[in-house]
Chain A
């Protein structure tokens, strides 16, 4: 293989650390950087540094934020009696896009995965239980916790684990429905999804 000079190799190696980037893509990106102007590179570096400097984890809900506590936690118009638990900050965005949810969030920053060595202690759960007490929630009692972890094997195991922690506290714990994607066709659906759709059916 062609040997690159040391600074180029170093940049390729750094790109390769990013998720979903292999040798070829890393090379392409590195050569793209070489073609960029000094000003463009400066902007790029500044954006990365800014994110690291300004974005922190909300101490209440673990969402990524530039203000502490985050916009959701400090908002006076959100319903504080309901908390939606998600795996990652970008999952929160998916719920928020519906515009039909007006409660608070809790971000776990991961899901249980024994094979990756990720256990309950690796999830950001420690600050969830204290939130359910009114004295830690602007005097509002939490009525419901919605578990919106991913509808896959790891997300299910995570939801079941969190529900076991919460149920003894007497709070209502719900799981988002699993079933048919809107706009799909029954003909092409697999039996697990169909089974969940049947189990989660509702009266109309």
Chain B
């Protein structure tokens, strides 16, 4: 409670009253917050471009007990991503990431890992927009993992025996995105050793490194992994992500490897 100073990524803003803005931010030390920035829409506002979505800022805000909405005192730009979001594709990808974080992060609970992942992924999406299909799968898997929704891919979801090893054909993915062994597989379809390795690599690779591994496997394996991540996200949200529509519409789908939100 009281005055909090922390690094933060602005996820989303909307207008409030005549001249104010509400900013939803993922902060390093206080988790997800919603704050009001008084006068932020005025021409000579002291916030300037600092509260544009995806900006990494040094945020100072005032928190009152039992009040969900905090008051943003200042926001100093550490790094702006204004130019990364300047085309529809870039904006759609970043907004999808922002939506994931907003949906999965519990409000007012510090989650430094999620914050670091968000910061790294915004940076990666800005640096390598052409790889956003891989990067967004990376974001989906990590957000799921940090929120505790990613099954442990090292073991079978049915019997708990270790998965993987040399024979990739022994790993099966079910319609809901969980992995099972050959015996427990139910209606699942076998996934290749490469797809399984790609999935396992998420734990040890940064976004840009992982996206290179992603594009190194076959289009079919890329699709397997991307669809698995999407199915899990949909299963947890119990709906289609709002910004997913444009991610799909604007991203070239490259045939079978596309985001193909069925």
Contact = CB atoms under 8 A, between A and B. Distances in A.
Partners in one complex: yes
Contact of A115 (B12, B43, B82, B87): B12
A115 B242 contact: yes
B49 interface: yes
A112 B88 contact: yes
A55 B80 CA distance: 41
Nearest to A185: B44
The size class of the interface chain B forms with chain A is 35 or more
B82 A119 contact: no
B245 A119 contact: yes
A119 B77 CA distance: 29
Interface residues of A, number: 26
A184 interface: yes
B90 A119 contact: no
Interface string A168-204: 0000000000000101100011111100000000000
Given A153-B52, A157-B90, A191-B80, A117 B43 contact: no
Nearest to B10: A153
A161 interface: yes
A7 interface: no
A112 B44 contact: no
A193 B83 CA distance: 12
Given A114-B243, A114-B245, A190 B91 contact: no
B204 interface: no
Contact of A114 (B47, B52, B92): B92
16 contacts: A112-B246, A113-B95, A114-B91, A115-B12, A115-B95, A153-B53, A153-B85, A154-B91, A156-B82, A157-B87, A157-B90, A160-B88, A183-B44, A190-B77, A192-B48, A192-B49
